[in-house]
Structure 1
């Protein structure tokens, strides 16, 4: 049975390894391996750990197979780096991680973003109640869609 709980500082190297693995498919899809999740360092992740809640999903084999981060600012929880190990995708784990993170910040507004090209991600977010409210063009090839949940 998969367990979701708060990550510890000792988990961060394994979460970063998972991040590098999980975001390969996004980089391939975007044809851009220079995306921030693939460039983040352990020091940067440790800095995030100080001011964000980082959750982990643990398999029966005690392996971290999913993670998500969030922090509260002015009654909005900014959610980022939702990731699931490729071997565990399409089983509802991403939704469970999102919903568990929301439980840490009840009665808040939640916001996240993804590429407009990431139809699977957008569908996942919409299935758990997120609605698009903005789009921002990064460059000629990349536009982010911002979604919120009240």
Structure 2
């Protein structure tokens, strides 16, 4: 497995992976009406211009994981950490998170997930992230925000 910066020719494949990887998140809510499943290629292209997108590539050259980041002076915002469903539970999410953090030495990191995403929260806590706020989006959806100094 290799991790490197994605380029704009990778974006459709990353978006396809995103649609696949976020099915499990949608299942937690019994609805496909979640932002990662509604993102368009043009929205992803706009994100690409504002930050860093990493891709994890298997031996055949297929993208099996990805993570995104953007930063301001003090904080790096990490999002869309995803691994292909067939490749989960192998430590790839941890590797992607470690790699994106290396791009930003001496920064504060922030990310969020749903309170229902117990596996994600467990991973982030193992990686040194701590909960600092919750935000109720709907009766069903509550985001937990986590940070790492």
Q: TM-score, normalised by structure 2?
A: 0.99
Coordinate RMSD, CA, aligned: 0.6
Deviations 1:28-86 (A, max 9, x none): 11212110100000011011110110000000111000000001113100000000000
The residue number in structure 1 matching 2:88 is 89
- Alpha-carbon distance between aligned partners in 1 of 2:14 and 2:95, rounded to the nearest angstrom: 17
The residue number in structure 2 matching 1:76 is 75
- Alpha-carbon distance between aligned partners in 1 of 2:34 and 2:144, rounded to the nearest angstrom: 16
2:28 counterpart of 1:29: yes
- Alpha-carbon distance between aligned partners in 2 of 1:132 and 1:32, rounded to the nearest angstrom: 25
The residue number in structure 1 matching 2:61 is 62
The residue number in structure 1 matching 2:8 is 9
**Secondary structure of the residue that 1:147 maps to in structure 2?**
strand
- Alpha-carbon distance between aligned partners in 1 of 2:138 and 2:35, rounded to the nearest angstrom: 15
Stretches of 4+ moved more than 4 A in 1? none
2:141 counterpart of 1:147: no
User: In the comparison of the two structures, how many residue pairs are matched?
Assistant: 149
Q: How does 1:68-147 map to 2 (within 5 A)?
A: 68-147=67-146
- Alpha-carbon distance between aligned partners in 1 of 2:145 and 2:28, rounded to the nearest angstrom: 19
Residue segments in structure 1 that go unaligned for 5+ positions in a row = none
Q: TM-score, normalised by structure 1?
A: 0.98
- Alpha-carbon distance between aligned partners in 1 of 2:114 and 2:21, rounded to the nearest angstrom: 15
Residue segments in structure 2 that go unaligned for 5+ positions in a row = none
